[in-house]
Amino acid sequence: MESLSFSEVDYVGCCGSSQFAKQMSLASPFPSLPNAISAARDIWFNKVDVNGWLEAFASHPQIGNTPSTKINKTQTSAQWSKVEQSTALATATSSTLEELSEWNAQYRQKFGFIFIICASGRSSHEILAELKKRYLNRPIVEFEIAAQEQMKITELRLAKLFSAKEMTAEARDHNPQVMMKKAEEDRVGIIGGHVIAASETSLGTPSQITMRTRPPITTHILDVSRGSPAAGVEVSLEMWKGTKPRPLFGEADIGGWSFIGSSTTDKDGRSDQLMSISEFLNPGIYKISFNTGKYCPAGFFPYVSIAFEIRESQKAEHFHVPLLLSPFSFSTYRGS
């Protein structure tokens, strides 16, 4: 697949932070959406400062208000905000909107910025309940949560940005040979998604974790065909315990995988704990499996399994292994 490049304006539309947009522009082009998301997470959490975070927060309309270019920095981001809040607005009553407005004002007075939440697919009642819950947080805790929610929004918008570019390219490419080559590359990409080696260079030197606050292996699922998290998907985690050191391609692995834990993704597409919180991971080969057939019965994949290896030198790191899914393709990446 040809690497895709976008302008700073495009990246501003995805995030709202000029610092983020500049760094993404410098890091581009990206060979795939997972590469772009991996870079985006590194830039957002490690290179954008407090002012950049606040700039991004300020680029969103208040939940319940009509998006416009006066707040959203681009016409595209205004349109995306409108779509992302469509479920909330469609389920809101006049009393709910009034209560949202009152709680938004209280929230802003306490924390100094508007309430940030990935609103895609969420009703007004869900958002209001989350607002009330997060209002009780300490400012330093809430600031971090808001940044995490902003990253979810950015990931969704990057997926839309890449999807639009790819559709434009497909419409332009009428040469049969070009189309055949692209189809072959897509097939290779799908097969390669089954075994993803943990990258040791994409994000520089791994950070040292002294005390975990979450399980060392986590995941979430993004439905890129709808531009929203995939909720209600069954997920399981296993570790290789076979007689051979590792599963081998083309050989049966019956009885080799040992079950660790399972969960179902929530409305944010994130799974609950798949394993206990421990300081160090046992080095070895792990496999996350997703019941995609139940989630998307008309799709191409009855299930998706992603195998990956954790080495001795990585046992103190965190491994976030997401699934970016559509009915006829999927991809993954090593997150943090």
* CA–CA gap between residue 235 and residue 29 (Å, rounded): 32
H or E element in which residue 229 lies: strand 228-229
Answer yes or no: 174 catalytic: no
Q: Which of 60, 125, 318, 320 is catalytic?
A: 60
Strand order in the sheet with 284-290: 257-264, 234-240, 284-290, 304-310
Q: What is the DSSP letter of 196?
A: -
Q: Which residues contact 237 (CB under 8 A, 6 or more apart)?
A: 217, 259, 260, 261, 262, 274, 275, 286, 287, 288
Pairing state between β 329-332 and 234-240: unpaired
H or E element in which residue 100 lies: helix 94-111
**Residues that are catalytic:** 60
